[in-house]
Structure 1
Amino acid sequence: MGVTSILDKMRKARLRWFGHVKRRWHDARLKEMNMYAKQRSCVLNEDRLSGLPDDILIHILSLLPLKDAVKGICNASRRFHKLWPFIHTLNFDQCMFPEHDCDYYLEAGRPDYDKRFVHSVRHVLLRGKSPTNHKFCLKFHFRLSYSFWQRTSNSTGICQYYDFLRSEKRMANEIGTWIQFALNKNLEVLDLSFSEHGTVGPQALYDLPNCVLSSPHLVELRMTHCTINAKKKSKLKSLKTLYLNNVVLMDQSMDYILSGCPMLEELTLQLCYGHIRVVLLNSNLKTLKLDIGWFRQRIRVSCPTLLSLDMSGAVEVLDIANVASIAEVSVNCNLIFDFDVYKDYQGIKTFLQTFTGAKTLNLCSWFALNTLSWTHPYEFDADEYWNMVDSPVQCLTHHLKKVVVAGHVMKKQVIQFLEYLFEHFVVLEEMKIFAEKQK
């Protein structure tokens, strides 16, 4: 056998070996890819939720919108269907209800409620099995119109009047049972928002049940468009956050509420009406937000632990004292509807002099001033004011460390103000200037 034939056989054997190795590698790779595809398919089709404990599933359901927790997911599994009655967060929002027409109820001149929504609330509450409730939220079109219906001389009009009266009272009583149901389960967060579509005034709003002010487990209480008529000291010993929006406070209700909230840390009063006093001498209140609104009833504030005050509206109606601990003040002054502008400015001056220890002062964050019309005779030259100031402002030489200016920074008055700051500041560490965007 020649050398050539031996080399030829060796080459063929080597090729056969490489071909065999290549086929084995290809088969192994194909097998691996098929196995990966099967595993991926199993993962995609696997119901991992079903393997979770009931407590975790109930917590997940409680985070979902109620209509999804009750209908969408629950229909996919019998196990979910058995678990949803144990959810501890109940959020009933009539505007989010399927096919609900808010405009229809806005224009309705009579007591008219979405019966489907009411039936849904009843169904969920009747099926509820959770021993405790973390949160109960109700946003509902509730309008009391019977007080404003004119009795007519004909019998038909009188009968219609009393029909509306009975309908509204029945609905008010049922809402009270819903609230009581939630409170009986050691409720921590209560959020009640009734539609502002009703006529403005105490007689047009929902009367808050007294049981709400006697719930020792409430940590957060939020109420919008209702009337509070407290007759005795509240028992809200765990309450930390109180938010009142368009609430009518009858007689001494504010005093009764605050006297029973030793743990209160944050209080918001937005466009509320009535006798308002925030007097907390021994409390934990840290943040107070006030929006006075149109009716300028006087408001008294006395709280030695207060750290932050956010004030909107006419400051001259605010009697404030014993607030030496305040570190941050925000003032959003509404001068558009005032008739005595100079008097308002004097009120602002007196108001600001109260906060000698404040470290942060925010002015006019409520609106951007585009047009100012001064109609009162008063010798004041805004263009040259800062050039005429002789003595430096005390805070520039001792305390002021940060200044933020935003908006119309190219105005002559603003530039002069900035020049004055640069000439007189001593301890200033930081200044931020935000110009309005060019159109």
Structure 2
Amino acid sequence: MKNKSGKRKRLLPSQSATVDTLNDFPDEILTHILSLLPCKDAFRTTVLSKRWVSLCHSLSTLNINDEGVNNSEDWIYFRRLMDKVMLSPLAQRLTLKSLSLSCWSELWEEEADGCLSFDNWLEAAKLRGMERLYLHLLNVPLAPTIFCCKTLLRLYLTNLTTSISVGSMVHCSVDLPLLETLFVFNIFFEDTKDFTKLLLGCPKLEYLAIDRVNANAGVPEGGYFKHLSKLILACISLFNVPFKAVYNVKYLTVCEIGKSLPNKEINSFDTVFENLTKLQTLNIAKAKNSTTIEHWEYPDHVPECVSSHLTKFEVIDYEACEADFRFATYILQNARLLQVMTIHHTLHPNPMESPQFLENLSSCPRMSPTCKLNLSSS
């Protein structure tokens, strides 16, 4: 090993014994140990022997971040390490199961050729049959070509801020034929149609989590969005994914209930209740400072998921107004298997509120004789 002056550092007897002991382990165990380390720490072992160079390049799971990259010298070292990890002939011959990239350094905005290198690394990962990709990017623009990967099973995208957007996908195809899991958090798209195009390019999507997705345009027109037929679990915002897309999902969490919706047709509650036949637990967290619908109308029929499956119902930030009261009583009077209804009443002032809409819940008739009503204020 070498010290900072470049001279080879002599190992202490105890350190030498430790290295010899490690070298006794088979490649499979050593590779597993290395996979648990940050990539830059794993590659520091290459000074031990040529065997460790081969082991590092055989890693099928890479966890890489630019922590500590604060100046030009750090930047050059990081770039060289990434080129060695992703572009060396040894690496390109091996399958890459999982790649996690966390890029927070401000140097990404200052170094003009940094983004080109980043795109080259992702293209190399695609050629290696990458199955899982985790991108945590703060100052790095993401090229839309990443949305064309025939081997990808899981995709996690977080923190592409409003100042750095996902490039326009107008002239790029989306082809993620095997993708099963998509997690998108705090992302900015130049156009809502780009985000819609991304979802439509995932025909086998089973697990979908969407939060804080922003775009220049609003929610797409109802006729444009097709449903995700294989979906099992979804956590969505009404402003990002219309109900029509997830109408047949088995497990659903919806955020931002209570806001004025730009497209009532594709975000109507009837769409979900009519097809969500496995509904057992319904938790509603209303958006704070939202505009409450003044006259919530009872549906013409009672969906089977409410009448025959619903067992738990919870509302956070319940407002003591007619619309919220009518919705809660609708559940109480039609859910025959309901075991628990929990109402968390918000204390922020609202001129539309009246104490009776909170008090009358306790005396409201219930279809389920065993239903327990819990009321709390916060």
Task: Determine if the TM-score, normalized by the shorter chain, exceeds 0.5.
Answer: yes
Look up the SS of the partner of 1:58 in the other structure: helix
Deviation of the 1:255 alpha carbon: 3.6
Q: Which residue of 1 aligns with 2:293?
A: 345
Query: By how many angstroms is 1:84 displaced?
Result: 1.4
Aligned to 2:43: 70
Return the offset for 1:175.
0.9
Q: CA deviation at 1:142?
A: 6.5
Query: How far has the Cα of 1:286 moved from its partner?
Result: 2.2
1:14-413 pair list within 5 angstroms = 50-71=23-44, 79-94=51-66, 97=67, 99-100=68-69, 114-127=75-88, 129=91, 131-141=94-104, 167-168=111-112, 170-195=113-138, 206-210=141-145, 212-224=146-158, 225=160, 226-230=165-169, 231-245=171-185, 246-250=187-191, 252-274=193-215, 275=217, 276-277=219-220, 279-281=225-227, 283-291=229-237, 299=242, 301-313=244-256, 314=259, 316-317=261-262, 319-320=266-267, 322-323=271-272, 324-326=274-276, 327=279, 328-336=281-289, 338=290, 341=291, 344-346=292-294, 349=296, 356=303, 357-358=305-306, 359=310, 360-364=312-316, 393=330, 395-396=332-333, 398-403=335-340, 405=342
Between the aligned partners of 2:168 and 2:134, the Cα distance in structure 1 is 18
- Report the CA distance between 1:194 and its aligned residue: 1.6
Which has the higher Rg, Structure 1 or Structure 2?
A: 1
Q: Which has the higher contact order (CA 8 A, sep 6+)?
A: 2
* Deviation, structure 1 residue 220: 0.9
Q: Which runs of 5+ in 2 are unaligned?
A: 1-16, 347-354
Counterparts in 2 of 1:122 and 1:345: CA distance versus 1, 3 Å: same
Paired position in structure 2 for 1:25: none
Task: Encode CA deviations 1:240-284: one digit per residue, 9 max, x unaligned.
Answer: 111222231536323432333111012222222235558334620
Measured against aligned partners, the alpha-carbon deviations of 1:35-64 in whole angstroms (never above 9, x if no partner) come to xxxxxxxxx989775454323432332233
Cα gap change, 1:420/1:53 in structure 2, threshold over 3 Å: closer, same or farther?
A: farther
Distance 1:113 1:354 in 2: 64
Q: Is the 8 A contact 1:266 1:285 kept in 2?
A: yes
RMSD of aligned alpha carbons: 4.6
Residues 132, 154 of structure 2: 8 Å contact kept: yes
8 A contact 2:315–2:344 mirrored in 1:
no
Distance in 2 between the 1:354 and 1:266 partners? 30
Which residue of 2 is the match for residue 5 of structure 1?
Answer: none
Letter of the 2:99 partner, please give it. F
Q: Gaps (5+ residues) in structure 1?
A: 1-43, 106-110, 147-163, 199-204, 375-379
Please give the secondary structure, in 2, of the residue aligned with 1:316: coil
**Offset, 1:219:** 0.5
CA distance in 2, matches of 1:46, 1:435: 61
**What number of residue pairs does the alignment pair up?**
324
Aligned to 1:284, the other structure's residue is in SS state coil
Matches within 5 A, 1:422-437: 424-429=365-370, 431=372
Write 1 or 2 for the structure with the bigger share of helix.
Answer: 1
Q: d(CA) in 2 for partners of 1:260 and 1:415?
A: 45
Query: Judging changes above 3 Å, is the alpha-carbon distance between structure 1 residues 240 and 427 closer, same or farther for their aligned structure 2 residues?
Result: same
The 3 A distance-change label for structure 1 pair 93 and 428 is farther
Aligned amino acid, residue 57 of structure 1: L
1:63-83: CA deviation from partner (whole Å, max 9, x where unpaired): 332233222x55567644431
